[in-house]
Chain A
Amino acid sequence: MATYAAPGDSGSVVTFRPRYDHFIGGEYVPPAGGEYFANPTPVTGATFTEVARGTAADVDRAVRAAEGAAVAWGRTSPAERAEVLNKIADRIEQNLEAIAVAESWENGKPVRETLAADIPLAVDHFRYFAGAIRAQEGGISQLDADTVAYHFHEPLGVVGQIIPWNFPILMATWKLAPALAAGNTVVLKPAEQTPASIHVLLELIADLIPAGVVNVVNGFGVEAGKPLAQHSGIRKVAFTGETTTGRLIMQYASENIIPVTLELGGKSPNIFFADVADAPDAFYDKAQEGFAMFALNQGEVCTCPSRALIQSSIYSSFLADAVERVQKIKQGDPLDTDTMIGAQASNDQLEKILSYIDIGRKEGAKVLTGGERVDLGGDLSGGYYVQPTVFEGDNKMRVFQEEIFGPVVSVTRFDDYDDAITIANDTLYGLGAGVWSRDGNTAYRAGRDIQAGRVWTNCYHAYPAHAAFGGYKQSGIGRENHKMMLDHYQQTKNILVSYSQNAQGFF
């Protein structure tokens, strides 16, 4: 296998610019306030570029650019918009390796994942919505012999999108593809932890998109995200993040009476019924991998299977095998294609994870493996690395109830089916869940009884387009990753027509 040269070193497949401005109206423009902020890589902690520090003036300029482009873009045919999306997908695919390395350097995630998942999924996502918009139909309702209701889809106009840092390019794609397909123009704010990789992508596709259709304003939440969420020119806000900011965005949206879609995370249960251990076969191996999936993307996934529920009759043996499996996870340089777990995305994220490991211990949860920060030596010493950690404890403990957003799983046992469902649903959230059983009836019933928007059954962490993704309970509003997301980016226009020659008879 191979280790990619770090961006900035000779031989790297990608080069970041020393500075990124805002992308507004089809060109790069410097920030109104003239300030930039340093952007470090979590791989080493060293700064590799600086990024425009956006303010309300920049957001306003971007919204105006998006408004200027909205009418023409909204009138393009679905075929034209689909062609743009398909071309974007092709361009990403042609540059997949460079974008994947950029994303790994930006976020700290292993390049193995960006090469095989993040970026190929982004390609497919653009293609999916290119197809979905062409296949979308309005509706016709014949109300009586002379009266017909026509329902047309129309774009909302300018939409604001606030992107998280855990999958900077893929999450931007989840929001951009349906919004553009539906005929909207976009002002997008990347997370301030990961503001640069989206620009590597943008430079590759900018010539494919009419000026003003996609605008990117960088900056901090309070300085750029807030004015975007509050802007009276925005017709909808889409946000992925946490609950308090989600509520605040809803409050701002109420001022302008606009809709929001929110994806706010979870504390996803991963349930292993006893029959998974009926034989030491390929399925058992798959279930074991399913347990270890909490370490994917360093646990920085809204659907991280961060609570493992194992049936009592197999608890000890299954857990012992699982801990062994976790101990084989290879941690290292994210740019090494053998690395399975890389760096946490930021120093404060690392500190938060360590603070949770601390309260987990204080509450009496037992660390079965991991539990410490890792120093990988050399340049990587400045990076933010945490061991994959397995806690054993009780579902009432805080490490079972709060999203740590790190490579930490909390394990407990259950006695029977009802017990499993009770524990699984004893959470404020309802985004993801996993169910593992050889019995289709058990798996089906559990899938229906768990209060979560996505129940992976005998699999985990698959994110194909055309499978709806979104939360129950406090995990949010809306369903991404599916053609139903088009509805969240469209108005319905009803034209009610009478084909009768005669008066109604009221006056």
Chain B
Amino acid sequence: MAVNRVDVTADAAVLLRRLAGTHGPLMFHQSGGCCDGSSPMCYPAGEFRTGNADVRLGDLRVDGVGEPIPVWMSASQFEYWKHTHLTIDVVPGRGSGFSLEAPEGVRFLIRSRLLTDQELAELDGREQQPVPAEER
């Protein structure tokens, strides 16, 4: 399987299927800062306007969800995160922000691990410019 930067747990995939059924195509933007920051925010696709200040980390392909779910992060934040692999998980909680899952009594959560040297080499080769904003 190809190396990727972002993945999703089985539990989070179940939730994404439900949310996509209700809200249609989805997107994530990883937040920073206080309160509910440092958490992934899930929106209807296009709700959050990404731009040159953002990086698309990858697309989540979830069985039963038609459209791939792009995962975005601000480019400045990516500079500090790019050596880590992210997995979107879900936990019981009372999330805030305008993320879609909060009313369900659950919250998306990022779990992280270090990318291996081999993974980094492969990603570096693929992402000559790791800012594919034009592909939006």
Contacts and interface: CB of A to CB of B under 8 A. Distances in A.
Contacts of B112: 355, 358-359, 362, 398
Given A242-B32, A352-B39, A398-B81, A225 B98 contact: yes
Given A240-B35, A243-B32, A347-B93, A221 B98 contact: yes
Interface residues of A, number: 55
B75 to A, nearest CB: 11
Contact of A352 (B30, B94, B109, B114): B109
B93 A346 contact: yes
Interface residues of B, number: 41
Contacts of B1: none
Contacts, number: 163
A478 interface: no
A327 interface: no
Interface stretch (B8-16, B57-65, B100-108): B100-108
Nearest to B23: A222
Main secondary structure of the interface of A (DSSP, over half): mixed
Contacts of A241: 33-37, 96-97
Contacts of A270: none
A405 B109 contact: no
A266 B98 CA distance: 20
Interface in A395-412: 396, 398, 401-405
B37 A265 contact: yes
Contacts of A242: 31-39, 97
Nearest to A240: B35
Interface in A435-494: 474-475
Contact of A474 (B49, B76, B98, B111): B76
A265 B48 contact: no
Contact of A222 (B31, B49, B77, B98): B98
Interface of A: 37, 40, 53, 164-166, 191-193, 220-223, 225-226, 240-248, 251, 263-266, 300-302, 346-349, 351-352, 355-356, 358-359, 362-363, 396, 398, 401-405, 428-429, 474-475
Interface of B: 29-39, 41, 43, 47-49, 74, 76-77, 80-81, 84, 91-100, 102-103, 107, 109-114
